Amino acid sequence: DAGITQSPRHKVTETGTPVTLRCHQTENHRYMYWYRQDPGHGLRLIHYSYGVKDTDKGEVSDGYSVSRSKTEDFLLTLESATSSQTSVYFCAISAGVRSYNEQFFGPGTRLTVL
């Protein structure tokens, strides 16, 4: 299994509070991704990173920010959580940039915003 951990695994928070989710990898892969999974939508890309301090937006980036100060860590921050951000969040990593390189997924973080 790819060495990907996510923390916390479960979190309940209140509307308006900031939340940071962490993704940590031990594979030294350059590319990292954050997705959210919602029923009826599959997985949707929030943000991705192609190197330290190099990040870009995905298709559902509103309300989220990311940071990557080290190769192994990719942080996802909800500046002011809303109920619509209740979801399961997955981090993924990829060894290469070629379109046929598969992504490896972490175990997920279940976030509930009350």
Which window, 13-21, 66-74, 76-84, 101-109, contacts another protein (CB under 8 A)?
101-109
For residues 10 and 110, the answer to whether their CB atoms sit within 8 Å is yes
Q: Which residue has the tokens 């479960």?
A: 10
98 makes contact with another protein (CB under 8 A)? yes
Which window, 16-24, 63-71, 75-83, 90-98, contacts another protein (CB under 8 A)?
90-98
For residues 89 and 107, the answer to whether their CB atoms sit within 8 Å is no
Residue 27 per-residue DSSP state: S
For residues 3-42, which are near another protein according to CB under 8 A?
Answer: 4, 31, 33, 40-42
d(CA 68, CA 48): 10
Q: What share of the chain is helix, strand, coil (3-state, %, to 5)?
A: 5, 55, 40
Among 78, 87, 94, 113, binds another protein (CB under 8 A): 94
Name the site residues for another protein (rule: CB under 8 A).
4, 31, 33, 40-45, 48, 50, 56, 58, 90, 92, 94, 96-108
